Amino acid sequence: MEEPRIKVLYVDDEEGNLKAFKAMFRRDFEIRLAQSAEEAMALLDREAMHVVISDQRMPRCTGSEFLAQVRERHPRSIRMLLTGYADIEAVVEAVNKGGIYSYTTKPWDPTDLKLRIEQAYEVSHLRAEREDLFHRYRQVFEASGDPIAIIEENGRILEANPAALKLIGLTRDAVMSARITDWVEDGRALLKAMRDRRTGQSFPNVDLTLNTPNGHVLDCLMTATYLGRSPEGQALFQAMIKDISDRKQEETRLRKLNVDLDRRVNARTQQLLEALEDLGSFSYTVAHDLRSPLKNILALSDHLKEVGAGTEQAELSERIHKGSSRLIELVDDLLRFSQTSTHELKREEVDLYEVAAECAQELIPTGSKAHVEIRMQRPTMVQADRAMIKVVLTNLLSNAIKFTRTTDAPQIEIGQQDTAEEHVIWVKDNGVGFDSSRADQVFGAFKRLHRTDQFEGTGVGLAIVQRVLQKHGGSCWAESRPGEGATLFIKLPKQAQQLQRLPFAS
């Protein structure tokens, strides 16, 4: 972008001097000429000039008097005086009244005068920019919704915007005649906070408590910025103050609520811990104490059958035998479920293939028509509790054997696939299957998807599977369709996880 040309007004009552000035500088500057102070002032009223140069000796109005008028009516124009050696008093008057930038003696040196004009323009330009910046700052200062004040280091307030006057509750004159230290609750604490929060020339987010003249106590947050020093040598700061009294009150209220909530949660947690401990003890005691009488009933029913009583008594003893056997099975499952909750994990390197083969060998006797295929890498090592993982695979395999009992050619597959972070193991069968809409019930305690007269069981085995996997940081799910078999999946993390549990979680 092309720089604008410097506009220069030269005032002299001698026409020869005017012509000589224009001829000498017309290529460098945009020249305007005037032969009198009146003519020059009229021109200035029509057109702004960057630099005004006036000869001292003119009729009716001297150069210093004319430049004083220019200073008053067109202060942005930079003023210069041309004079002779004998006019030193005129120079002093021009400096005092006209505020001239410089003066040049006659006859002038063209190179020196050109340099002075260019320097005068730079001053004019910088002054204009400074005035524009100050004007914009003043607009922001006055319009800001946040209180802003200019304060000396001794606390005297030099300026305050309308928002600051509203915050303090005083008029401008009253604020300007006061010191902010008059309202600060703890001056020493404020100075310490400012030192602690200092970052270069700024002091951001300093806590400030003001006791206003109208009796209000305001919790505030102040950001102070160092501006320099006043003519008297006092350090100046711009302080932006934000009233956070409502926020502080809300924080206090929330802290009280949190304290009360923590107290109530702790009390409720303790109650739950006691209830769960009592429930665990009750479940274990009931299950354990039920087992002995049920064993006696089972033995008596067997004895009754051996005595060789009548047909009706034999049927009754058989029914008692079946019922007591099922109750013993349920009690045993309850005991295992309870022990799963309290059992501490003992992680070690476990070969899944070895455990799966061991379970298959124990559950499927030689000569059985069921065919089990194990599709795993040898070895497949996981970080887990070996005894608990064996319980998981035993329950999954037992489940598959049970539901393929009515199938002509039972097929069971134990497979495994690794991801970057997990081991995924599945047990797939070609048994009766189940409705996929009920898949979320498969691993629920005491949840059964088939009638007891079709398939025996208590509905606890797969609940134990889910509990074990949760303790390992894993998960389980099922997929199936009626008549098309079922696939039960388990997922184990490759890295042992530190589970975040509630204090009362098992």
pLDDT tens digits, residue range 295-324?
667 676 766 666 665 666 666 676 676 666
For residue 313, report the phi and psi dihedrals to the nearest 5 degrees: -65, -35
* Dist CA 457 CA 23 (whole Å): 118
**How many CB atoms are located within 10 Å of the residue 58 CB?**
19
- pLDDT for the residue numbered 498: 42
pLDDT of residue 442: 66
230 or 506, which is more confident?
230
Secondary structure class of 334 (helix, strand, coil): helix
pLDDT at 32: 92
Contact 71, 79 (CB under 8 A): yes
- pLDDT of 48 > 80? The answer is yes
pLDDT at 226: 87
Which one-letter DSSP state was computed for residue 156? B
Residue 413 has pLDDT above 90, yes or no: no
Report the range of poorest mean pLDDT among 19-28, 68-77, 84-93, 112-121. Answer: 84-93
> Would you state the pLDDT for residue 276?
58
Looking at residue 313, its pLDDT comes to 67
Residue-range domains of the chain with CATH = 7-140 (3.40.50.2300), 144-243 (3.30.450.20), 250-340 (1.10.287), 345-493 (3.30.565.10)
Given 3-state DSSP classes, what are the helix, strand and coil percentages for the chain, each rounded to the nearest 5? 50, 20, 30
Tell me the angle at which helices 37-46 and 63-73 cross, rounded to the nearest 10 degrees. Answer: 20
Q: pLDDT digit string (tens) for 236-288?
A: 888 888 888 788 778 778 888 888 888 888 888 787 766 656 556 656 666 55
> Angle 286-363-387 (CA atoms, 0-180°, nearest 5)?
60
pLDDT band at 144 (very low <50, low <70, confident <90, very high): confident
What would the pLDDT profile of 145-154 be if each residue is shown by its tens digit?
788 888 888 8
The pLDDT of residue 290 is 64
Those residues with Cβ within 8 angstroms of residue 376's Cβ, 6 or more apart along the chain or in another chain: 352, 353, 356, 414, 415, 416, 425
Mean pLDDT of the chain: 77
Q: What residue type is 160 in one-letter code? A: A
d(CA 414, CA 428): 7
Structure tokens at 419: 């991801």
**107 C-beta neighbours (distance < 10 Å), count:** 10
For residues 296, 298, 303, 306, the Cα torsion angle rounded to the nearest 10 degrees is: -170
- Tell me the average pLDDT across 29-37: 91
